[in-house]
């Protein structure tokens, strides 16, 4: 149940985060995700019952849904067109590096005597989260988001700040036109099935499918975590690393 709660929370978070990111802005969505992750980390670290662990886990996964929804979108909207792909790849690379460090920490704390190492492992998740939350506080919302919500003047000021030039009329008018055009689309899901979008749709389905088909998540999520089997746990974590 502890592991499966991740997927239940992710299902709900996908719907809620999408609405929040669109209606309240990317920055608010990132802050909500960061706050939920902080609370979830503390609950898991100081958990006294299995239900505290499950609630903490749900909050963690809820926050991941918000971050995955807002951060790549934020990067795409503020980066220059020739850097967008690279920055979004860095987002995915950072997640992978984080998983590597997390498994390294799990391996290290598995040797702690007294059976409390898992609390340290879960609690340390709050460290990068605080960096994420504090960093988000200093960010402005994207021009695209401001235009979607009708704040055109602030969107133009934000665009001037991003580009660092005196005139952004052309870029601003392009964003406004794109926003107006997107509002005319009545059924975006049907558009995905059109022939011209079929290659992108196929790759969007097959890439995560084969990622899961490697069965890596089985090793990462369903490891032996009993303190009485710490030797087996350490060896399994080392194999994953």
pLDDT over 80 at 8, yes or no: no
pTM: 0.79
Weakest mean pLDDT among 122-131, 160-169, 188-197, 226-235? 226-235
Angle among Cα 136, 140, 141 to the nearest 5 degrees reads 100
The pLDDT, as a whole number, for residue 101 is 86
pLDDT over 50 at 225, yes or no: no
Taking only Cα atoms into account, the Rg of the chain, rounded to an integer number of angstroms, comes to 21
Q: What is the mean pLDDT of residues 212-235?
A: 57
What Cα–Cα distance (Å) separates residue 102 from each residue in 32, 109, 114, 121, 238? 23, 11, 21, 8, 12
Token pair for residue 219?
């090793």
Token pair 């890596």 in the structure block, residue: 216
Task: Give the other-Cβ count within 10 Å of 155's Cβ.
Answer: 23
> b/e for 6-17, b at 16 or more Cβ within 10 A?
beebbeebeeeb
Token pair for residue 20?
């929040």
pLDDT higher at 225 or 175: 175
* Cα–Cα distance measured from residue 215 to residue 196, given in angstroms and rounded to the nearest whole number: 32
pLDDT over 60 at 181, yes or no: yes
- Percent with pLDDT over 90 in the chain: 13
Q: What is the mean pLDDT of residues 127-146?
A: 91
Helix pair angle (126-137, 26-45), 10° resolution: 160
Task: Please state, rounded to an integer, the average pLDDT across all residues of the chain.
Answer: 81
The pLDDT, as a whole number, for residue 224 is 44
Q: Give the model's confidence band at 229: pLDDT under 50 very low, under 70 low, under 90 confident, else very high.
A: very low
How far, in whole angstroms, is CA 174 from its chain's centroid? 28
The pLDDT, as a whole number, for residue 219 is 63
Helix pair angle (5-24, 26-45), 10° resolution: 150
Closest CA relative to residue 7, chosen from 53, 56, 65, 50: 65
Closest CA relative to residue 16, chosen from 79, 46, 58: 58
């Amino acid at each position: 149940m502890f592991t499966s709660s991740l997927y239940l929370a992710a299902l709900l978070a996908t719907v809620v985060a999408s609405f929040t990111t669109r209606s309240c802005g990317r920055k608010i969505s990132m802050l909500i995700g960061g706050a939920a992750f902080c609370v979830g980390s503390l609950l898991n670290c100081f958990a006294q019952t299995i239900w505290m662990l499950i609630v903490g886990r749900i909050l963690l996964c809820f926050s991941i849904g918000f971050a995955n929804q807002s951060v790549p979108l934020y990067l795409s909207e503020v980066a220059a067109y020739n850097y967008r792909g690279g920055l979004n790849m860095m987002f995915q690379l950072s997640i992978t590096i984080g998983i590597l460090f997390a498994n390294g920490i799990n391996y290290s704390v598995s040797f702690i005597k007294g059976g409390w190492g898992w609390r340290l492992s879960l609690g340390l998740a709050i460290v990068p989260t605080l960096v994420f939350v504090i960093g988000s506080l200093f960010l402005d919302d994207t021009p695209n988001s401001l235009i979607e919500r009708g704040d055109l003047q602030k969107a133009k000021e934000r665009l001037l700040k991003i580009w660092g030039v005196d005139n952004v009329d052309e870029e601003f008018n392009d964003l406004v036109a794109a926003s107006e055009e997107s509002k005319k689309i009545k059924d975006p899901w049907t558009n995905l099935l059109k022939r011209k979008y079929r290659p992108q749709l196929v790759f969007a389905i097959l890439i995560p499918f084969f990622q899961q088909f490697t069965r890596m998540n089985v090793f990462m999520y369903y490891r032996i975590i009993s303190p009485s089997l710490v030797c087996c746990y350490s060896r399994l974590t080392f194999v994953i690393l």
